Amino acid sequence: MRLTLLLLSTCLALAFSNCNAATPKYRQVDDRRVGQVGIRKIVGRHLWLYTDLPASNAVDELPLVFDKAVEQWADYFGIPPLRVAHWQMQGFLMQDRAKFATLNLLPETKSDFVNGYAQGYELWLNEQPSEYYRRHLLLHEGTHGFMHAFLGAAGPGWYSEGMAELLGTHRWKDAQLQLGYMPSDRKQVPMWGRIKLIRDANQNGEPLELEAVLGLGQRTALTTDQYAWCWALCKFLDTHPHWQTKFRQLKLHVAERDFNQRFLETFDRAMLQTEWNAFVAALDYGYEPEHMAMVHKATRIVGRQDAVTIAADRGWQATGWQLEGGKQYTITAEGRYQIAFDQGPWPCEPGGVTLRYHAGHPLGMLLGAIHSPVDNAFSKPLALGTERTFEAERDGQLYLRVNDSPAQLSDNQGSLQATIAPKAENR
Ligand SMILES: [Zn+2]
């Protein structure tokens, strides 16, 4: 049976800034009056939450979850604990929205929001079909509230929503909270679906270019798919071993109008585009950013017999070999390395192990991609194995890796030697 996921969008981008300069504003709520219609108040240190949902652990612990998130937001954004000590939000978690509307408890500026909304020191959530997603939405809106309060703004739409998604995606287990979590399995994040949306778009040949993501959320509310892309870009940069530090500095510029320009100037654009393409092509639950970060090399003309070493525990690795479109090359590979998967470590050679496939090829098989700025070769790699002669489809540098899940590279060990030889008739 094919399960259909209900994928949910979250909230609308906030259209204001600099709310930290103002005195905190909370609408006045008459606890006795709301209590008469079944709305109760759950109080934490940094959040008090009005809800018409019946008492349950998952609902009543939300202010505790929020309090733990405040510590992590402060740490992530570099805000001293003393500054956040007295910061509080007032929240509304609604099953029967009409009850809240009657009591004038909806946001005046956006009373028709779909799932969640944050404004100044207040946030609103519609009840959600999973406990995970209800918490996710609270943390998403809380991230907006925190950024506006302590950074003075939240940047353009893609960054504001991407950060709220990045820090809203979490793990909550045994009263421990982990923000910025990479789910290892979709069962950990019921109704979230961001990775599935990216994988579906990629399979349909519709991945979003980097610059298209930067344009999201500028004028209109985001669609569910667009939330997924904003999350993906922030997740990609926030976990990338070479770019994490630069990405995290962008928080200092959220109030600047030319934020996107600064963003583009911060990174090597060609390399960013290359790695974004490779990331989108491989993204899956449990993705290991440290191991999947690409290894680059300057290009050189292929010699008569050139050899490189390719590690089994890394994603795409540059060979330096600049191939010419239309010419033929033979790649041979040898070596014995170890591929780990759920049945334990397995000895492997460049042909791969045929008892298990990943992405249509034997696990551990040597794959290649001729990188070009105009085409995402990483989404449809060449199966090379122990020996293959092929005609280069285009000019570009050859990248190699062994075939494996992006979630299971860290347990691999060893390497292979790959050798390239241009066919004699090329010369
Ligand atoms: Zn949002």
pLDDT digits (tens, 9 = 90+) for 80-104: 999 999 999 999 999 999 999 999 9
Q: Please determine, for residue 190, whether its predicted confidence score (pLDDT) is greater than 60.
A: yes
Mean pLDDT of the chain: 92
**Token representation of residue 358:** 């990943």
> Phi/psi at 268 (nearest 5 deg)?
-70, 110
pLDDT digits (tens, 9 = 90+) for 116-141: 999 999 999 999 999 999 999 999 99
Q: Which helix (H) or strand (E) holds 146?
A: helix 131-151
Q: Which residue has the higher pLDDT, 5 or 352?
A: 352
**141 alpha carbon – ligand 1 mean position (Å):** 6
**160 alpha carbon – ligand 1 mean position (Å):** 7
**80 alpha carbon – ligand 1 mean position (Å):** 24
pLDDT above 70 as % of the chain: 94
pLDDT above 90 as % of the chain: 82
The three-class DSSP label of residue 345 is strand
Candidates 3.90.1170.30, 3.40.50.150, 3.40.30.160, 3.30.420.60; correct CATH number of 19-154? Answer: 3.40.30.160
Cβ atoms of 23 and 127 closer than 8 Å: no
**159 alpha carbon – ligand 1 mean position (Å):** 10
**117 alpha carbon – ligand 1 mean position (Å):** 7
CATH 2.60.120.430 residue spans of the chain: 292-426
Q: Please determine, for residue 23, whether its predicted confidence score (pLDDT) is greater than 90.
A: no
Q: What is the pTM of this model?
A: 0.92
User: Which CATH superfamily does the domain covering 292-426 fall into?
Assistant: Galactose-binding lectin (2.60.120.430)
**Residues near ligand 1 ion, CB 5 Å cutoff:** 11, 161, 164
**227 alpha carbon – ligand 1 mean position (Å):** 9
**118 alpha carbon – ligand 1 mean position (Å):** 8
Cβ atoms of 304 and 421 closer than 8 Å: yes
CATH 3.40.30.160 residue spans of the chain: 19-154
**161 alpha carbon – ligand 1 mean position (Å):** 5
**129 alpha carbon – ligand 1 mean position (Å):** 18
Q: What is the pLDDT of residue 426?
A: 59
Q: Please determine, for residue 414, whether its predicted confidence score (pLDDT) is greater than 70.
A: yes
**417 alpha carbon – ligand 1 mean position (Å):** 48
Give the span between the Cα atoms of 30 and 45, in whole angstroms.
20
**113 alpha carbon – ligand 1 mean position (Å):** 11
**263 alpha carbon – ligand 1 mean position (Å):** 20
**14 alpha carbon – ligand 1 mean position (Å):** 7
Cβ atoms of 396 and 318 closer than 8 Å: no
CA angle 1, 181, 16 (to 5 degrees): 105
